[in-house]
Chains A and B, each alone.
Chain A
Amino acid sequence: MGLESDVLVIGGGLAGTTAAISAAREGADVRLVSHKKSTLRQSSGLVDALGYVPKREDGESDLGSGSGSGSGSGSERASESTLRGPVVNPYDAIEDLPEEHPYSIVGSEAVAEGFALFDELVGDAYRGGHTDSNALVPTFGGTVKPTARYPAATAAGVASDERPMFVVGFRSLSEYDAGALADGLSASGVPFPVAGAEVKFAEAFRDDAKITRFARALDDDEPIDGVPARKALTTAVEPQLAEFADSVADASDIRVGFPAFLGEDRADQIREELGDRLGAEVFEIPMGPPSLPGLRLEDLLLEQLDAAGVSFETGVRAVDRTVGTDGAVETVVVDRNGTGVPYAADAVVLATGGLIGKGLQSDRKRVTEPVFDCPVAHPADRYDWFLDDAFGDHPFARFGLATDNRLRPVDPSGDGEPEYPNLFAAGAVLGGADVAREKSASGVSLATGVVAGRGAAAVANDTTLEANR
């Protein structure tokens, strides 16, 4: 039989990738399967650890807010009653999380290990690894977001930097409004003058041209009405930038923020060239999907999977499993466009995502985990799954698998014995965290990915030892 590996990882997002590389580093032969293209391409490219935590019952607010900012942030607005933050140091705040939170289960050491692995994998493409503290990065919604790691392309935009900021927008690019973005930043109390303006550049493109189209034009420095794209872009920005320069005290030290479309393959070169032409440091403001920073991170991590010797394939969905007499998962059945193909493995990591990523499914009556049928705890009445407040503390956000301390799924109403001795879970499929409100999605994926990957490799190595005996 051919499709065998020591460790099989199901899911190609941040958690799956981290688990696969961690397992491979333990010497396991690893295969990763993913149903669709990685969801990293929908992500902002920011890698968060923990930005907000539940309010303490005693009403204490010792964590305060970093740099006096954050009061205008969406999360803050959404959660005034139950959350506090932005958290300055995520590691200090972990103890304030409930005990079923994945961070509480794996511990802050695992969180640090997850980030250390990430730093190593992405090299100088990312910043923020020099400190445990969160950085505050402007978002396209005009807020600042507490994040642990941010792309090098975004570095010059951090809110703790006091240089004047000019934000560029384009009328035909409806994703964000530069003026509103700048107003939002001002209102959130950033310690620098900021203004935004829309400039003419994108008019040469089709009305509904995608940001990837702009990126490609800049990558190739394609002529736009006869002028090379990079030059055309800076020419469009210059007059508005000059106006802003007149309004600030120190015009020699302005930084200029663009929507994150400054090239896919030659991003560093483009940023540098635009900066030289404008006489200012240029940075990118992360955007919603489809996201160039997300696409770049996906490319980077795929390269790392390849370098780690991990086999991987996308376009295939895990649909079922077979179980051996010892109760362990024997094979995972994968659907390849209608044909069911069994993949045998000594240990399996489930990193298929939560309700949004479709690793969990729900109908009107129940929430299920479809591949291994692991139980998911939730109130019997579905009207108790959510609140009326759209930005509130929704129970459904915490739905997911319960695990033992090695991240093996257990029945939440049972005795704590793992469902399968060789199945581990990582990332958003785990319950206990409201990663969207906490801003902890990436960190949960990294930390649990490392622990699950290593756990799976340990099971596989043990089996290998037995086999060799």
Chain B
Amino acid sequence: MSNHQPPCDDDAVEPIEVFPERELDLRAGADACYKCTTCETSCPVAAVDDEFPGPKFQGPEQWRLKRKEDADIDDSILSCSNCLRCDSACPSEVPLAQMHNEARGEYVDEQMNKLSREYLRNRILANYGLLAKVGSKVPRLVNFVMGLSVTRKLNEKLLGLPSEREFPAFATQTFREWWRERGGAQVESDDKRVAYFHGCYSNYNTPEVGKAMVRVFEEFGYEVLVPEQRCSGTPMFANGMLSDARRAAETNVESLAAAIDDDADIVASCTSCSLSLRKEYPELFDIDRIDDVSEHTYEALEYLRIHEDLESAVTDAEVDHPALAYHAPCHARNQGLDRQAVELFREVDGVAIEDVGDSCSGISGTYGWKAEKYEASMAMGEEMFHHMEQSDGEVGMTECPTCAMQMEHGTGYEIKHPLQVLEAAVVSE
């Protein structure tokens, strides 16, 4: 068919090939941006960092600029914390997060000095799972050494990790070790089955979250599978390490697709993990069955709310629990999950829960773990710290492990995961 046909003739007009086929064409997204700048008013980084040109620049404008072959990607892309608030705010469906991830990946691949301290540090942060795997072999020793102030000073000098931050302690027994020790699933079922994507943090650092997830799902009669898995890739996207992320994604998609074939849906307890499997994977990679995995993935509490009468289950419960200051992680917001814990637990006798507002915690995964970003990270979190301190209790709650770190760091509060509170409410001793 010729390209000179009248454009409104019928549906069969062939598109004109403007860009090489293998390249991801984000032009439609760039064209859809009408510069209303709502994304910029939602960006927590732009709110505290005057040097950061904001999501509209990082997304559509950067994309247009780099169409010119001699234009480099602006290094301000490394200041985007990947919170995805711009994505939730855009009224025009510009794929901002996808554009940022692409730009960051290209910057890191083509412009970043691979021998620089910054690259090395980012690579280590992005591959936290690997570090944790080694560290958790000798958790007590590592916890002791990492806790020493001399180590923290050294980390800042050598690696650019902020000395103010306390390194998260490794659990003495990982979730997977516990899982093996208890002999795997205690409930078998052919029609109620979930595959648990625990992610790195609940495996190495907070296995109690993973245990709570297993106990709660078993209480509702689910058979829980714990398939082989690697890091979800979130810290890798956020640092532009797309080839690392792709390798992890390939492993995860293969293993989770096999679980889907065993009639399981996938549930995650970390909202960044569920977001990554659902949204970022299909946006960034073309891997066999990646859409299948995306369609079958849920956040754990979300899954129960959809498939069980969770409201009745918790309404009947009575828990003696200190008041909770709840912070909704940005990645929960992006999935429409920011209200579910508040709405669910306010029905429970003995649980008082207070939403501490809509600010970003400021740590945004690895962002707050960079010495040069530490101050901005704390400035973003200020509103949350303030609201937490104003709230009744001295226990916080959130789904996101790094938000939890920030909440604890800023207020000294103990932080719970909603699954732990749910465990207290519904699991019989």
A residues whose Cβ falls under 8 Å from a Cβ of B: 1-3, 33, 36-37, 39, 41-42, 205-206, 208-210, 212-213, 216, 289-290, 295, 311-316, 334, 336-342, 357-358, 364-365, 382
Q: Is B161 an interface residue (CB 8 A)?
A: no
Bound-state Cα–Cα, A1 to B310, Å: 9
Q: Are A341 and B91 in contact (CB under 8 A)?
A: no
Question: Smallest distance from the beta carbon of B151 to chain A beta carbons, Å?
Answer: 36
Complex CA–CA separation, A315 to B343 (angstroms): 17
- Pick from B118-126, B247-255, B289-297 the stretch touching chain A: B289-297
Q: Which of B126-145 contact A (CB under 8 A)?
A: none
A2 adjacent to B337 (CB under 8 Å): no
CB B192 to nearest CB in A, in angstroms, measures 14
Write the nearest CB–CB distance from A405 to chain B, whole angstroms: 31
Where chain B touches its partner, the secondary structure class is helix
A334 to B335, CA, bound (A): 11
* Interchain residue pairs with CB less than 8 A apart (13): A2-B304, A33-B336, A208-B53, A210-B37, A210-B41, A216-B47, A290-B36, A295-B41, A311-B339, A315-B336, A336-B278, A336-B302, A342-B306
Task: A82 to B61: give the CA distance in the assembly, Å.
Answer: 40
Given contacts A313-B340, A315-B334, A339-B295, contact A42 B311 (CB under 8 A): no
Within the complex, the shortest CB–CB distance from B12 to chain A, in Å, comes to 13
A208 CB to nearest B CB, Å = 7
Give bound CA distance, A24 to B89, whole Å: 27
* A-chain residues with CB within 8 Å of residue B47 when the two chains form the complex: 212-213, 216
The reply to whether B7 and A364 form a contact with Cβ atoms under 8 Å apart is yes
Our pick among B36, B50, B279, B306 for the contact of A3 (Cβ within 8 Å) is B306
- Complex partner residue of A1 from B40, B275, B291, B307, CB under 8 angstroms: B307
Contact (Cβ within 8 A) A336 B41 = no
Q: How far is the CA of A208 from the CA of B91 in the complex (A)?
A: 21
Nearest residue (CB) in A for B52 is A206
Size category of the B interface is: 35 or more
- Is B109 engaged at the interface, CB distance under 8 Å to the other chain? no
The 8 closest A-B pairs by CB, nearest first: A316-B336, A338-B294, A315-B336, A337-B279, A2-B305, A313-B336, A337-B278, A290-B41
| A341–B306 CB distance below 8 A | yes
Tell me whether A337 and B89 are in contact in the complex, defined as CB-CB below 8 angstroms, given that A2-B308, A210-B41, A364-B8 are known contacts. Answer: no
Docked CA distance A205–B51 (Å): 10
Minimal Cβ-Cβ distance residue in B for A295? B41
User: When chains A and B are docked, how far (Å) is the Cα of A314 from the Cα of B278?
Assistant: 17
Q: What is the distance, in angstroms, from A207's C-beta to the closest C-beta of chain B?
A: 10
B 26-49 binary contact with A (CB < 8 Å = 1; else 0): 000000000011101110001100
Which residues from A are CB-within-8-Å of B40? 210, 212, 290
With both beta carbons as reference points, the residue of chain A lying nearest to B307 in the complex is identified as A2
Q: A2-B304, A338-B279, A358-B91 are in contact. List 11 more A-B contacts (CB 8 A).
A: A2-B306, A36-B88, A36-B89, A37-B38, A210-B37, A289-B38, A290-B37, A312-B339, A334-B336, A336-B278, A336-B335
Contact partner of A39 among B91, B278, B337, CB < 8 A?
A: B91
- Please give, as numbers and ranges, the residues of chain B lying within 8 Å of A336 by CB-CB distance: 278, 302, 335-337
Residues in B whose Cβ lies below 8 Å from that of A316: 335-336
Number of A-B residue pairs at CB separation under 8 A: 112
Residues of A within 8 A of B296 (CB): 339
B279 surroundings in chain A (CB, below 8 A): 337-338
Which of B267-320 touch A at CB < 8 Å? 275, 278-279, 282, 291, 294-298, 302, 304-311
Would you give the shortest CB distance from A211 to chain B, in whole angstroms? 8
Given contact pairs A42-B36, A311-B343, A364-B8, A337 touches B335 in the complex (Cβ within 8 A): yes
Minimum C-beta distance from A175 to chain B (A): 10
Do the beta carbons of A209 and B36 come within 8 Å of each other?
A: no
Is A315 a contact of B88 with CB atoms below 8 Å? yes
Whether A205 contacts B50 by the Cβ 8 Å rule is yes
Q: Does B333 contact A (CB under 8 A)?
A: yes
Contact B275 A337 (CB under 8 A): yes
Minimum CB distance partner of B334 in chain A: A315
Determine if B89 and A37 form an interchain contact, defined as CB atoms under 8 angstroms apart.
yes
What 0/1 pattern do residues 332 to 373 of B give for CB contact below 8 A with A? 011111111001000000000000000000000000000000
The interface residues of chain B lying within 8 Å CB-to-CB of A213 are 46-47, 50
The answer to whether A313 and B337 touch across the interface, beta carbons within 8 angstroms, is yes
CB pair A36 B334 closer than 8 Å: no
CA distance A312 to B336 in the complex (A): 9
Contacts of B46 in A (CB 8 A): 210, 213
* Neighbouring A residues of B83 by C-beta, 8 Å: none
Which of B37, B298, B311, B338 has the most chain A CB atoms closer than 10 A to its own CB? B37
Report if B212 contacts A (CB, 8 A): no
Known A33-B336, A41-B41, A337-B335; judge A382-B8 contact (CB<8 A).
Answer: yes
Give the most central of B36, B41, B302, B340: most A CB within 10 Å. Answer: B41
Query: Which residues of chain B are within 8 angstroms of A290 by Cβ–Cβ distance?
Result: 36-38, 40-41
B90 within 8 A of A: yes
A311 to B53, CA, bound (A): 35
Write the chain A residue with the least CB distance to B93. Answer: A358
Inside 8 A of B90's CB, which chain A residues have their CB? 36
Give the complex CA separation of A83 and B273 in angstroms: 55
Give complex CA distance A313, B50 in Å. Answer: 31
Tell me the residues in window 1-27 of chain B with beta carbons closer than 8 Å to chain A beta carbons: 7-8
In the bound assembly, the distance between CA atoms of A2 and B93 in angstroms comes to: 29
Complex contact B38–A42 (CB within 8 A): yes
Distance in Å: Cβ of B44 to nearest Cβ of chain A: 11
Partner of A338, one of B88, B291, B306, B340: B291
The distance in angstroms between the C-alpha atoms of A166 and B46, with both chains bound, is: 32
Complex: how many Å from CA A242 to CA B308?
A: 69
A48 → chain B closest CB, angstroms: 20
Chain A residues with CB under 8 Å of B302's CB are 336, 341
CB distance from B293 to the nearest CB of A (A): 9
With a cutoff of 8 Å between Cβ atoms, the chain B residues found around residue A206 in the complex are: 50-51
A363's closest neighbor in chain B, by CB? B11
Cβ-neighbour of A42 out of B91, B309, B337 (below 8 A)? B91
Asked whether, in the complex, the Cβ of A339 is within 8 Å of the Cβ of B343, the reply is no
Interface string of B188-228 (1 = CB under 8 A from A): 00000000000000000000000000000000000000000
- Chain A's nearest CB lies how many Å from the CB of B91? 6
Q: Measured between alpha carbons, how far is A340 from B306 in the docked complex, in Å?
A: 11
**Chain B residues, Cβ within 8 Å of A365:** 8
Partner of A339, one of B36, B297, B310: B297
Complex CA distance for A364 and B8, rounded to whole angstroms: 6
CB contacts (< 8 Å) of B298 on chain A: these are: 339
B425 CB to nearest A CB, Å: 15
Question: How many angstroms from the CA of A311 to the CA of B41 in the assembled complex?
Answer: 25
List chain A residues, Cβ under 8 A from B291.
Answer: 338
The answer to whether B50 and A337 have CB atoms under 8 Å apart is no
A457 CB, min distance to chain B CBs, angstroms: 19
Residue of B nearest to A340 (CB): B295
